[in-house]
Amino acid sequence: MRGMSKEPAPPRDPSVPKLNLSQVWGYLWPYLWEYRGRVFLAILALLAAKGATLAMPWALKHIIDGVDRNLQPELVLPVAFLLFYGFLRFGGVFFGELRDAIFSRVTERAMRRIGLRVFEHLHQLELNFHLSRQTGGISRDIERGTNGISFLMRFMMFNIVPTLFEILMVAIIFTVAFSAWYALIILIAVLFYIGFTVAVTEWRTRFVRAANQADSSTNTRAVDSLLNYETVKYFNNETYEARTYDDFLANWETAKLKNRMTLLALNSGQALIIALAMTAMMFMAAQAVIDREMTLGDLAMINAYLIQLFIPLNFLGFVYREIRRALTDLENMLGLLSREPKIKNAADAKPLNVREGRIDFDQVSFGYHTERPILKNLSFSVEPGQRVAIVGASGGGKSTIARLLYRFYDLDGGDIRIDGQSISQVTLDSLRRAIAVVPQDTVLFNTSIRENIAYGRPSASEADIERAIRMAHLKEFIDSLPQGDKTVVGERGLKVSGGEKQRIAIARVLLKDAPILVFDEATSALDSNAEAAILSAMRTVSAGHTSLVIAHRLSTVVDADRILVLDEGHLVEQGSHNDLLQQGGRYAQLWRLQQDSAGEAKN
């Protein structure tokens, strides 16, 4: 199984680029521009909400002064200001909610578009990437990244700039209405607050990254263990799995604790700066009231503005922290987007034109690692309509041939051609539409049997699906099920047997209706009865198609038009079954060994 290590989360991947706000803004701008009308209306609603918020302390001052006996011996209830204050209180909330409702379409569409873009890009990346990466970690990267985009779009537009604007307006009001000292204290406090927040947040970003990496590793380990549920049970390793998972959780717990402690330092420092500034200004205002330089309404107005000012300022600190976290979350997701697929169309690639279905391997060399070549100058041809088998010992490169033909990897040397067209010079889509594969280990989606079959051609008619079911010899099996072809096969198809999965795979191939077929050890894990049924279905499907049959059991390919024998990456023999037996070479040796093994198994 993958992911068995108990080591802490690895350090940050240096290949993932660090992001700054200007890069993210450039990335998000097209999504904002697409809905510029909604953005404009949301900004108008924002201005209305801020205007109502800024006017509330002024209205409160006049309410208090209106009921102050020192100023108004004959009390008259300031009805107009009370109604105005109520309207402002409602308007501040209403226009804020209206802004969010208008802008939500923009953020949700951006999340949808970017999520789809990442999903499509992941499908464009080469097979080797998916064999190397861990699915659980990728899913968390995408989840956190899309949430980070939503946060950035909302708060960059509707919190940072508006809050700074509000600070400036309050400073101007204090200067005009009272004294420049109030504005000076506000500006000094804001500068200290922002400087402290930026410095400490930059320091603690590494702890956020460590917590994210620990979270991804923990999630990956859990997914990996659950996907390998049967293996865990076979070896009675439930306790080991729990202990291993707890080790990952311990790393996560430690990382989160460090994250929390640095957050405590940040919040405490911010609170101290705000408290000192508010204390200084309230001391000045209270003294001015005692000296009869200001009214109680002025004192209440100042207090209201301070609360109104420092609450969003404190929120601005939260927003900045969250922006840094969102940027950290985005790094991995956008790092996926920045990764160039290694297998892609040539600049002048043209669609593959399959006329007959001839396949040529010309001096093909390939290795998954440079120090360990798999195929060495391999050459052979498959004539149109032929059924050619490829056999040999395990590790000899049989399945690699299928992967190279499908262009999951590019060659180290030589060329592969279909009807004279190099597969490196045709579009990947047209190449893969021309080839249908029945793999050794068929993995099914957790949907119904019928939906899994229809996956071969989602646009297929009901009649086409029924025909595929019959030709793949699935009809009797489906009729025996209480829910028929609506039976759900379970995660990765675990609720159906190996033979049934292979027949579903063959039905998919029938629906795809490709001119070239590849059977990659399609019967290697089946018993004799299931193997006989699959072989019958394979012969039915292969009629009129060019077919490559990769096989470990020689008994399954005795009727092939030609058999190619591989040994350590070289083609050592080729011919019909009888011809190869008469040659008495490598094939004959493998045949005897398998026949002897079969005889011993029967005894």
Mind spelling out the 3-state secondary structure of 237-300? CHHHHHHHHHHHHHHHHHHHHHHHHHHHHHHHHHHHHHHHHHHHHHHHHHHHHHCCCCCHHHHH
Per-residue model confidence (pLDDT) at position 157: 66
Residue 341 is predicted with a pLDDT of: 81
Model pLDDT, residue 479: 87
Task: Give the strand pairing for 546-550 and 570-575.
Answer: unpaired
Within its chain, how far is the Cα of 119 from the centroid? 6
Contact 182, 175 (CB under 8 A): yes
Element (H, E) at 526: none
How far is Cα 289 from Cα 68, in angstroms, rounded to an integer?
Answer: 13
Residue 162 is predicted with a pLDDT of 75
Would you tell me how many other CB atoms lie within 10 Å of the CB of residue 356? 12
- DSSP-assigned letter for residue 355: S
| Cα dihedral across residues 78, 79, 80, 84: positive or negative | positive
Cα dihedral value 225, 226, 227, 233, nearest 10: 80
Backbone Cα Rg of the chain? 35
Round to whole Å and give the CA distance between 467 and 112: 38
Chain mean position to CA 210:
19
Per-residue H/E/C for 528-543: HHHHHHHHHHHHHHHC
- The whole-number pLDDT of residue 11 equals 42
Residue pair 503/533 in contact (Cβ under 8 Å)? The answer is yes
Structure tokens at 365: 């060399």
Question: Which candidate, 341, 340, 344, 331, places its Cα nearest to that of 27?
Answer: 331
Closest of 63, 118, 114, 119 to residue 86, by C-alpha: 63
Give me the pLDDT at residue 68, please.
55
The order of strands in the sheet holding 570-575 is: 435-438, 516-520, 546-550, 387-392, 562-567, 570-575
Q: Are 502 and 527 in contact (CB under 8 A)?
A: no
With residue 567 as reference, give the H or E element that holds it: strand 562-567
Q: What is the pLDDT of residue 360?
A: 94
Mind listing the domains of the chain with CATH numbers? 21-338 (1.20.1560.10), 359-602 (3.40.50.300)
SS (H, E, C) 366-426: ECCECCECCEEEEEEEECCCCEEEEEECCCCCHHHHHHHHCCCCCCCEEEEEECCEEHHHE
73: exposed, middle or buried (C-beta count within 10 Å: 0-12, 13-18, 19+)?
exposed
How high is the mean pLDDT in each 10-residue block of the chain (603 residues)?
Answer: 36 53 71 80 83 78 65 59 81 83 80 81 78 64 76 71 76 80 85 85 78 80 78 77 86 83 84 85 82 78 76 68 73 75 87 91 89 88 90 83 90 92 92 87 83 87 88 84 83 70 84 87 62 69 82 84 89 90 88 73 51
